[in-house]
Each structure stands twice: as structure tokens, then as C-alpha cells.
């Protein structure tokens, strides 16, 4: 499968608060059969701030970047990149190495289990390509998700973004196409019992497509969402002949906290649904890889004392009543973006469990969430 008709989607991303409402795309086009909900995991942390993207009640580690990934980034000037798999006598845990503009880089995983929290693994970025900002940081543990051929996560180190992930047993190799025309070929390597791949490109370089292949041919392809911080966020993997959601974007929530404005914008497209926050002092986005079982979780961003959540509501929803952990309630009006009902709100932290109910125009409950 080639997805040439989609590759222009990164040429001009919609303005952050622009709402586009094309004909609603059928949800089934982006839904994988029987899939549990997951948010594609990626956090870019500004200096001195801790940001967390989480799903439901599951804890997700922050990535301890030693340099900031501030705000929107300018287009990258011409660049060259290479990648290669480790040789037979490479250091333990080495996933991949290569060059960026002739400067070397290496990406290595430590043995799982040494992180400060569950689901964390220590990774080391080394080499002059990282601009002297290389070092070790905790990221998401390498783990196979049977629903996707590759479970990509990403991190930023200096001027470079690294995309890494575990691959399924049926994946023989993965190709990654970049906006400068380069096609990288990733060969899985065994790392502490998991087959993994990785590649590194400049922050702001657009990843236009990743395709996973088995011995028998193409398995699936993914068009990532390239967010304003210069990172690629992988969501839906499309099988040959399968089409994703129509492209649309719109602001789904906003407010103020300690005198500063915040907002959340939803971007729909072949990547699925991606939420991106602005005005929070951090650059962060996360992509939902399936619309099935969406009432089982939520996207959440924490920065200092501010907690913002965003999610999906049934099509018949007219308003949402949020039961805040502090014991109060908040009424939220979903916004229709690309045929999907989406909303975002500020979470009042407290001892109780966050929950909400979706109501139609007659006041009937049409959905609920807790956790």
C-alpha cells in the first residue's frame, strides 16, 4: 500500500484553533477490531517542568529531558540521516545507531526493571549528533502491542528526536519515509527478550510514513501526526486498502490557571485523534490509536498545579457533567470536530475519583466514565 494521497497532509497543518468540518468519516475506518484503548505515548518536557500524558488510571512516566522542547519549531533546513542495526559484537542493549548531518548517534536500552516506576526503562542517547546534550533518561518500557506491528514512543534529546519501539514477531523490517525524501530501513534487534527498532532525526523533521513488512509483504502503514514541538506522534496503523479519518481540527477546550490561558486542540486524520495542549509551558501531544472502548480512559496533562483532561463523547451527547475529585461538578459542552464529539476541561485535584456522565438533549445519560 502507498498512501501518496495522504502525504501532503504535513505540508500545511491547520492553524491551531481552526475548525474544519468535512464529511464525517466512518469510525470503523480507523478502528481495529477488538482493540483496547491506548494513547500513543510521547511527552516533550520543558526545562524545569514535569509533564505527564496518561490514560485512565494507569501511571505513565515523565521523560527527563536535559534540554527544552519549547513551542512551535521552524522547518528544518536540509539534512541527511542514516540508521543501521547493531552488529554481532555491539554493546548490550544497543538498538540502533547512525548519523545526522554526518555526526554519529547511538541509542541504547538498559535492562528493564530499574526505573523509578512501573512501565519505565532507562535509555541512553550518545554521540555528537545530540549536540552535547546526550545522557540517560527514563522512557516507556519496550513492550509489544499485538494490535500494532510497531509500538513507537518518542523522546527529545538536544536538537534530535528519537523514535523507538518494540515490534511484533511477524515484522521482518520497517521503512520510514521522511520529508526530505529519505527512506530509512529499520531491522529489528533483540534487546532483553524484545525485538526493537529505533531511528533519530532532527527535531522538526517530518516523518511522513512508516511501513511494517513481514516475509510475505506489507503488514500495515502509519502516517504520524507531526506536532508543533517538532515531534512525530504515531497513532493508527492502517492495513493495505484501509483508510483513516478525514482530516479536521478544532479547539475543544480552554481556560485560565493562575492568570495564564490554556487550551487543547484536537487533530483528526489518518493518525487517528491527537490532542495537543498550548499555553501550559510545555509542548505535549498524544494520539489515540483507536476509537473503540474510548469510555475506558482519558488523556491527561499535568504541569505544576494545573491538570487538564480531554476525551471523546457519544455522538448524541449534548453536555457532560464532570464529578471533580474535589467534590464539585463541572458542566462541559463537547465540540464536534470531523464528526466526532470531543471535549477538554480542567481537573480539580482532590481525594475522590474523577468521573463524568454524558447527557443527550433530553437529559438522558448516554455514556459514563470513571477512573
Q: What is the CA radius of gyration of the chain?
A: 20
334-350 pLDDT per residue, tens: 999 999 999 999 999 89
In sign, the C-alpha dihedral spanning 29, 33, 34, 37 is: negative
Tens digit of each residue's pLDDT (9 = 90 or more) over 279-312: 766 556 778 765 554 555 678 877 777 889 999 9
Confidence band for 327, pLDDT divided at 50, 70 and 90: very high
Q: Taking the CB of residue 302, how many other CB atoms lie within 10 A of it?
A: 21
Secondary structure of 114-158 in the HEC alphabet?
Answer: CCCCCCEEEEEEECHHHCCCCEEEEEECCCCCCCCCEEEEEEEEC
Q: Is residue 110 pLDDT above 80, yes or no?
A: yes
* pLDDT for position 51: 31
Q: Can you give the pLDDT at residue 291?
A: 55
Residue spans of beta strands (DSSP E) within 13-119: 39-40, 52-55, 81-84, 94-100, 103-109
pLDDT of 366 reads 95
Residue 295 has a pLDDT of 52
Helix, strand, coil percent content, the chain, rounded in steps of 5: 5, 45, 50
42-59 confidence digits (pLDDT tens): 333 222 222 333 322 222
List, for residues 231-278, the tens digit of each pLDDT value: 999 988 999 999 888 999 999 999 998 888 999 999 999 998 999 888
**Is residue 81 very low, low, confident or very high in pLDDT (cuts 50, 70, 90)?**
very high
Res 23 pLDDT > 90: no
State the pLDDT at residue 19.
35
Q: Which helix (H) or strand (E) holds 331?
A: strand 329-332
> Is the pLDDT at 365 greater than 90, yes or no?
yes
Q: Where are the domains of the chain?
A: 13-60+232-371, 74-227
pLDDT at 20 over 70: no
3-state class of 232 per DSSP? strand
In the predicted structure, residue 145 carries a pLDDT above the cut 60: yes
Residue 354: all three cell numbers together: 474523577
Cell numbers placing 125: 542517547
User: Taking the mean position of all CA atoms in its chain, how far away is CA 125?
Assistant: 20
Q: Give tens-digit pLDDT for 348-361.
A: 989 999 999 999 99
pLDDT (tens digit per residue) in 174-226: 999 999 999 999 999 999 999 999 999 999 999 999 999 999 999 999 999 99
Q: Pairing between strand 135-140 and 194-202?
A: unpaired
Residue 249 and residue 268 in contact, taking contact as beta carbons nearer than 8 Å: yes
The owner of cell 513507537 is 152
Q: Are 363 and 323 in contact (CB under 8 A)?
A: no
Residue 328, C-beta contacts closer than 8 angstroms, at least 6 positions apart: 348
Chain length of the chain: 371
| The pLDDT of residue 281 | 62
Amino acid at each position: 500500500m502507498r498512501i501518496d494521497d495522504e502525504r501532503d497532509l504535513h505540508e500545511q497543518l491547520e492553524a491551531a484553533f481552526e475548525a474544519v468540518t468535512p464529511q464525517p468519516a466512518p469510525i470503523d475506518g480507523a478502528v481495529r477490531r477488538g482493540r483496547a484503548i491506548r494513547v500513543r505515548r510521547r511527552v516533550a518536557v520543558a526545562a524545569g517542568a514535569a509533564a505527564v500524558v496518561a490514560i485512565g488510571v494507569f501511571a505513565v512516566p515523565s521523560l527527563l529531558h536535559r534540554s527544552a522542547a519549547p513551542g512551535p519549531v521552524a522547518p528544518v533546513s536540509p539534512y541527511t540521516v542514516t540508521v543501521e542495526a547493531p552488529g554481532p559484537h555491539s554493546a548490550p542493549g544497543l538498538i540502533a545507531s547512525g548519523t545526522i548531518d554526518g555526526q554519529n548517534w547511538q541509542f541504547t536500552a538498559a535492562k528493564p526493571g530499574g526505573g523509578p516506576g512501573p512501565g519505565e526503562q532507562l535509555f541512553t542517547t550518545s554521540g555528537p549528533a545530540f549536540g552535547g546534550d546526550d545522557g540517560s533518561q527514563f522512557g516507556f518500557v519496550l513492550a509489544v502491542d499485538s494490535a500494532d506491528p510497531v509500538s513507537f514512543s518518542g523522546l527529545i534529546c538536544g536538537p534530535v528526536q528519537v523514535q523507538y519501539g518494540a515490534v511484533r514477531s511477524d515484522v521482518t523490517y520497517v521503512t520510514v519515509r521522511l520529508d526530505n525524501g529519505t527512506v530509512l530501513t529499520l531491522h529489528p534487534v533483540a534487546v532483553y527478550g524484545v525485538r526493537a527498532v529505533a531511528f533519530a532525526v532532527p527535531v522538526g523533521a517530518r516523518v511522513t510514513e512508516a511501513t511494517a513488512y513481514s516475509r510475505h509483504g506489507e503488514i500495515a502503514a502509519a502516517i504520524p501526526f507531526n506536532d508543533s514541538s517538532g515531534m512525530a506522534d504515531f497513532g493508527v496503523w492502517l492495513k493495505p486498502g484501509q483508510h483513516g479519518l478525514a482530516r479536521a481540527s478544532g479547539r475543544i477546550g480552554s481556560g485560565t490557571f493562575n492568570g495564564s490561558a490554556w487550551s487543547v486542540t484536537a487533530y483528526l486524520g489518518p493518525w487517528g485523534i491527537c490532542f495537543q495542549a498550548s499555553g501550559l509551558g510545555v509542548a505535549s501531544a498524544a494520539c489515540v490509536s483507536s476509537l473503540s472502548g474510548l469510555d475506558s480512559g482519558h488523556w491527561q496533562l499535568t504541569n505544576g498545579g494545573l491538570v487538564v483532561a480531554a476525551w471523546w463523547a457519544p455522538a448524541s451527547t449534548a453536555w457532560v457533567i464532570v464529578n471533580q475529585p474535589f467534590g464539585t461538578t463541572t458542566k462541559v459542552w463537547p465540540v464536534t470536530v470531523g464528526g466526532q464529539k470531543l471535549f477538554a476541561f480542567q481537573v480539580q485535584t482532590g481525594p475522590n475519583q474523577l468521573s463524568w456522565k454524558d447527557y443527550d438533549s433530553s437529559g438522558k445519560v448516554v455514556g459514563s466514565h470513571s477512573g
